[in-house]
Amino acid sequence: MAELAVVVVNHNAGTFLPGCLSSIYAAAGDLALDVVLVDNASTDGSTEDAARAHPSLRILRNRANRGFAAAANQGVAATSAPFVFLLNPDAEIIGGSLPALVKVAGDRPRAAVMGPLVRNSDGSIQASARKVPDLLESLGHAFLGPFSPNNRFSRAYTMAEWDRSSERDVEWVSGCATLVRREAFEAVGGFDEGYFMYVEDVDICTRLRQAGWTVLFSPELEVVHETGVSARKRSRRLAFEHSRSIYRYFSKNRARGPAVLLKPLVKVALWLRALLVSRNSRARPSATRTGPRATGQRGRPSG
């Protein structure tokens, strides 16, 4: 039986996927792995290339793009290891090892989810472990964050004063690189498949904490993540998808008692936010892998 399952959800990740998969096997050490690639109707040949490069890789193919939450649940259900590491196809492990990460999780039996240190491709640190913002922080970040990332609301939400050099309990960690404890994951029903993309990680961490589990950040493992590779060509549509996911989270977890009266206002505000973000977004070139990505090691200065 595998000691660790690894699930990668792919949708046209292109030349990023080989580096992702190679880094998984390189970081495995002597750990017994079960690696599953869930393909969400990719058309770029990336999954076929992966199958040829890694004969032991198990591939689940979907005829349509089911979104991250549904595909991740599908991958987890196809495995049986006590821990599952979810890794985006545009991410690579660049420091630490998977056996060390599993040991940390094993030593903390109430930790249901554990997020590693995540870096951008330029070496700066991604704020992948955050708090759940209150309503004022949510509004401030939603409207100011896309245009002025250093505003006080976004800084509070992203815990910008913390250098991520130490382990600590947090309120949620990004799904781009996440170790989950199967027992806890299954107890809360996995990811809510009502989220197509975005916020499903905040939602499951919220539900797990409500059930008495903890969410842990640990720099034991280090990952580099090229944000949004699969989403770049659909930035306008996904701006609205992001707002839809935020509204779903608000409706599920915040709209109680008098706050129910805010639902129409929040819905309109989020639609306006998506409109502003989509109109002001600048086209970025398609992501291609032309050479080794910037890598970092423990102790590398953060950005």
Over 50: is that where the pLDDT of 288 sits? no
**pTM summary value:** 0.88
Tell me whether strands 129-130 and 172-173 are parallel, antiparallel or unpaired: antiparallel
Which residue has better confidence, 111 or 266?
111
At 196 the pLDDT is: 94
Indicate the DSSP class of residue 125: B
Q: What is the pLDDT of residues 217-226, one digit of tens each?
A: 999 999 999 9
At 43 the pLDDT is: 97
- List 83's β-bridge partners, or say none: 4, 181
Mean pLDDT of 134-151: 86
**Dihedral class, residue 299 (left if φ above 0, else alpha if ψ from -120 to 50, else beta):** left
Q: What is the pLDDT of residues 154-176, one digit of tens each?
A: 999 999 999 999 999 999 999 99
Tokens of 233: 């060509």
> In this structure, which amino acid lies at residue 86?
L
At 152 the pLDDT is: 94
Cα separation of 146 and 280, whole Å? 9
What does the mean pLDDT of the chain come to?
Answer: 88
pLDDT-based confidence at residue 113 (cuts at 50, 70, 90): very high
Cα separation of 114 and 236, whole Å? 31
Over 90: is that where the pLDDT of 296 sits? no
Q: What is the pLDDT of residues 241-264, one digit of tens each?
A: 988 998 899 888 876 777 777 788
At 229 the pLDDT is: 59
Q: What is the pLDDT of residues 58-101, one digit of tens each?
A: 999 999 999 999 999 999 999 999 999 999 999 999 999 999 99
At 234 the pLDDT is: 56
Mean pLDDT of 9-13: 97
